[in-house]
């Protein structure tokens, strides 16, 4: 049912919209516009002079083999984070959805990691996996498995993936649990009477009915892995060793903030912006089409 309110005059609707518009303009359109503008400029190191260089920042960017390597890192990283975070959360949610004693308590416990700041989370993982002082790190080395994420790029990547995924599991868990609880019990009972075993029931009934939730979380997790994992990476590896864990967002930070190449950094921000726009567009299109059961 659609309800429409018609205002007389324009002052009131404009006043009501103004705070939202103001915030969007000041904190989004303005900086975004600046980033787009800077991406066409080249500044000297002290920020005194800037020259218009057109698309040169972009052509430089995509000609740089290190940037292409960063894209590959980002793909590996975000895929890893998303798959691990979603699969773990789904498994935990399915287990927590059963009627067991004390389910309320451990549902709450599973939500806790979400409340931990990225830097604190990273420190936690350092205490676990540091090759010399970490519990797991020492155990691995002691067992004859050479473990040093400060030297081995693959191990570093594995660690930032695990740490980032771990942070996101709680969030996914909440949504999966809510999704599971909104599936009518009688539908699952009907499937049981139709002869479906629990595993078959899960893949033919539960999982398809959960797909709107899964798809929503897929996009949210990709965006998270792209943009919100800066803190974890910075605290754990600072993009190293040898740029093995440098993702797009981390590279933009390093070029802009450390190397003071504002133009190049802005060009990378614009690329990232396009990625978000694409992800959001895909999400809306699919949600429009697939969610209505």
Residues near other proteins (CB under 8 A):
184, 186-187, 189-197, 200, 204-205, 208-209, 211, 292-293
Residues 214 and 228 sit within 8 Å (Cβ to Cβ): no
| CB-side neighbour CA atoms (13 Å) of 253 | 14
Q: Shortest gap between Cβ of 250 and other proteins (angstroms)?
A: 40
Nearer to other proteins by C-beta: 29 or 203?
Answer: 203
Cα(53)–Cα(176) distance, integer angstroms = 48
Nearer to other proteins by C-beta: 65 or 184?
Answer: 184
DSSP code of residue 131: T
Nearer to other proteins by C-beta: 84 or 205?
Answer: 205
Q: Shortest gap between Cβ of 165 and other proteins (angstroms)?
A: 28
**In the block, residue with structure tokens 């599936």:** 183
Q: Shortest gap between Cβ of 194 and other proteins (angstroms)?
A: 4
Nearer to other proteins by C-beta: 44 or 189?
Answer: 189
Nearer to other proteins by C-beta: 143 or 193?
Answer: 193
Q: Shortest gap between Cβ of 139 and other proteins (angstroms)?
A: 43
Q: Shortest gap between Cβ of 212 and other proteins (angstroms)?
A: 10
C-alpha 11 chain-centroid distance? 40
Cα(250)–Cα(213) distance, integer angstroms = 29
For the chain, helix (H) and strand (E) counts, in that order, are 14, 2
């Amino acid at each position: 049912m659609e309800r429409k309110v018609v205002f007389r005059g324009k002052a009131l609707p404009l006043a009501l919209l103004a705070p939202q518009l103001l915030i969007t303009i000041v904190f989004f359109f303005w900086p975004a516009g600046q980033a787009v503008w800077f991406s066409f400029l080249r500044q000297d190191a002290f920020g005194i002079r800037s020259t218009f260089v057109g698309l040169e920042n972009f052509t430089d960017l995509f000609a740089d083999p290190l940037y292409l390597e960063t894209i590959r890192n980002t793909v590996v990283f975000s895929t890893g984070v998303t798959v691990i975070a979603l699969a773990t959360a789904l498994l935990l949610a399915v287990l927590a959805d059963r009627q067991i004693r004390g389910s309320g308590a451990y549902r709450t416990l599973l939500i806790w990691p979400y409340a931990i700041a990225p830097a604190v989370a990273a420190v936690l993982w350092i205490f676990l996996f540091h090759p010399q002082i970490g519990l797991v790190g020492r155990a691995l080395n002691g067992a004859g498995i050479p473990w040093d994420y400060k030297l081995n790029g693959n191990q570093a990547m594995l660690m930032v993936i695990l740490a980032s995924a771990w942070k996101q599991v709680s969030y996914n868990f909440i949504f999966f649990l809510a999704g599971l609880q909104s599936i009518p019990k009688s539908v699952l009972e009907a499937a049981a009477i139709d002869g479906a075993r629990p595993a078959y029931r899960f893949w033919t009934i539960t999982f398809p009915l959960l797909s709107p939730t899964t798809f929503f979380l897929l996009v949210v997790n990709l965006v998270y892995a792209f943009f919100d994992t800066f803190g974890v990476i910075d605290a754990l590896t600072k993009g190293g060793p040898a740029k093995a864990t440098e993702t797009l967002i981390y590279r933009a930070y390093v070029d802009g903030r450390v190397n003071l190449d504002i133009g190049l950094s802005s060009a990378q921000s614009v690329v990232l912006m396009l990625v978000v726009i694409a992800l959001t567009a895909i999400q809306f299109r699919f949600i429009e089409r697939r969610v209505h059961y």
